[in-house]
Amino acid sequence: RRVHGEEKFEMGCGANQGSMMGIGSVINRHVKNNDDLPKLYLANKFVGDYGVVEIALSLNTCSKLNELSLYNCGMKARGAKELAKALKENKTLRKIFVGKNEYGVEGAVAIIDSVKSHPTLISLDFSDCNLGDPGCIHISELLRYNQKLQSLFLCGNQISPIGAAELCLSLEINTSLKGLTVDENIIANEGSKHFADMLAKNKTLSALCLDNNSITEEGGEALLACFLENKSLTLLDIVGNKIPNRIVMEIKKFTYRNSKLKQSERMNYVTTSSIFKLSSLPKPAASSTPLSLIHISEPTRRYATSYAVFC
């Protein structure tokens, strides 16, 4: 169907295990017959491993497919492995949602390995997959190798301080990730200290969600202290923890400060670009009317005046 002027495939009917092979075949034919399909959404539709295998077989026939959602679709290890094979050859997907499936660490590792060097992927969702700390080791490797990924979702994966430490080691050197969601895990105070140490070094991450992670005052103090060095984080969600309100309010002040700093940097960039454009304008010929500041708009006049003062 067409949504907001864009072609999008959604499965609108329920499915049981007996019919998932047939549904997979239908999806396969539809995808192969629509090579310009940009989005394939099968979230919360039971297609199972057989259906995922059929989808994987047709995945790379779509030259414009950039979003794939297989969230909560009944995928297990076999389906994840077949999907991983297709993702290794894919060059177009930008967003992949494979959360809330029961493929375990084995299936997750296959998918993670397949996208380590993916050329276009910017968003990856592994929410509610029970990856645990072993899965975090492989996610950490992904963050070391892939310097294009911008958002990563790891909610509800039983990540402990051990897994948090693995993630943070890679995030200290990662220069692409801007948003990380680690809600509903068990990182506790020790894990929050790992994140605080990472945030003091990371200059790229702008949004971090740590809701419902059993963090108390000790962990909150560590997160607050990281803002002495961090100037990039503009959102830190810590709802559902036992962090005193005074710490929460102080953190909000620092994230607000960082937001203002980023706005100022963008304005400085725009102003500098405008001045350079003005400086590259050709000089008027001797016979032409001299250029006066009263003949140009107010914003341009300000930039021209700034440039004159700079000179």
For residue 275, the model assigns a pLDDT of: 59
Distance separating alpha carbons of residues 267 and 254, to the nearest angstrom: 20
- 179 token code pair: 């948003």
Locus of tokens 């790891």: 154
How far, in whole angstroms, is CA 210 from its chain's centroid?
15
Locus of tokens 């993670």: 112
Q: How is residue 203 annotated by DSSP?
A: S
Distance separating alpha carbons of residues 45 and 14, to the nearest angstrom: 6
Element (H, E) at 15: none
User: Treating both helix axes as pointing N-terminal to C-terminal, what angle do 298-310 and 245-279 enclose, rounded to 10 degrees?
Assistant: 80
Distance separating alpha carbons of residues 35 and 139, to the nearest angstrom: 31
Which regions of the chain are under pLDDT 70? Answer: 1-26, 28, 30-34, 269-311
How far, in whole angstroms, is CA 64 from its chain's centroid?
20
Residue type, 298: E
For 90, counting Cβ atoms within 10 Å of its Cβ (0-12 exposed, 13-18 middle, 19+ buried), the class is buried
Q: CA dist 262 to 179, 204, 214, 224, 233, Å?
A: 16, 12, 31, 19, 10
Q: How is residue 40 annotated by DSSP?
A: E
Query: Quick one: CA torsion of 88, 92, 97, 98, rounded to 10 degrees?
Result: -20
Distance separating alpha carbons of residues 151 and 123, to the nearest angstrom: 5
Locus of tokens 């993916």: 118
Element (H, E) at 300: helix 298-310
